[in-house]
A = this chain, B = another copy of it.
Amino acid sequence: MTGVIYERVALIGLGLIGSSLAHVMRQQKLANRITGYARSAETRATAKRIGLVDEIHESAKAAVKDADLIILCTPVGAYGKLAEEIGPHLKAGATVTDVGSVKSAVVRDVGPFMPANVHFIPGHPVAGTEQSGPESGFAELFLNRWSILTPLPDSDKAAVAKLEAFWRGCGANVETMTPEHHDMVLAITSHLPHLIAYNIVATAADIEDVTNSEVIKFSAGGFRDFTRIAASDPTMWRDVFLNNKEAVLETLGRFSEDLALLQRAIRWGDGDTLFNLFTRSREVRRSIIAAGQETAAPDFGRRPKE
């Protein structure tokens, strides 16, 4: 048990990550009072019904009043306006962080609205499922996942250490890096995979020679794996791609180059190139399993409907 780290925490946004944070904070008693804000009345009503947080507010500025930790959990495209709204209402000495999948853009959009007497420490827990909304959260979401913090050069060391302790209390490991490095690392480990997954689902849906019903029936051949991350929240992902343009275009360019090489190998019947490239991948998966970031069970441990 870690014990209370922040007396009062405000969750701005109550989707998968926000609601998971509410659950784990209560389970681990990391905060004494949790306030919440969501833009949609429906989300607020659901959060109220399931008792997700202690207070639900109809505005972000009301939710952050007296809060010691404020966590932005909306799609990153909404951050700028939210920061402008809450800036004047933040308590002196409070810490403002976020859970967005891009970090340079967050520094750009949120930074200017942060008062000098507030600690602004951008963050990103690399954790999630394909589900979204206030009822999708669960306390174990961050367990053994990595939470990345991207403190600014002048960030207060004690405030950063406290936020690290908070994430550890949520069950996560913590690493710090620059926002720019974060954006390149996540471009390849998360953003490009999502883009590719969304794209292949669209390609499959549009092929005239194969019916959609055939795509669905025979999806166990591999396709279905891609549909999981392609079922993620469209607003969140639109905002990610609009806000990590350079790193995504860079990794996408490399992906396309590599793919052209494979395409050529197939066209010319170059089995050795294919075999050698296919052989490298097993080791990567083994390392991910050894690092505790993936289940060792075949087929993700899936259980088919019987």
Contact with B along A12-30 (1 / 0, CB 8 A): 0000000000000000000
Contact check, B146 vs A218: say whether CB atoms are below 8 A apart.
Answer: yes
The verdict on A155 contacting chain B, using a C-beta distance below 8 Å, is no
The verdict on A204 contacting chain B, using a C-beta distance below 8 Å, is yes
Task: Name the CB-closest residue of B to A148.
Answer: B218
Contact check, B192 vs A200: say whether CB atoms are below 8 A apart.
Answer: yes
Among A64-72, A104-112, A298-306, the one that faces the other chain is A298-306
User: Min CB distance, A260 to chain B, in Å?
Assistant: 8
Cα distance, A146 to B217, chains bound together (Å) = 7
Contact check, A189 vs B202: say whether CB atoms are below 8 A apart.
Answer: no
The verdict on A94 contacting chain B, using a C-beta distance below 8 Å, is no
Among A52-60, A82-90, A269-277, the one that faces the other chain is A269-277
Cα distance, A228 to B293, chains bound together (Å) = 13
**What 14 additional pairs, Cβ within 8 angstroms, besides A148-B218, A242-B266?**
A128-B221, A140-B304, A188-B204, A188-B207, A189-B219, A189-B222, A189-B223, A200-B255, A202-B280, A237-B278, A238-B278, A293-B304, A296-B305, A301-B302
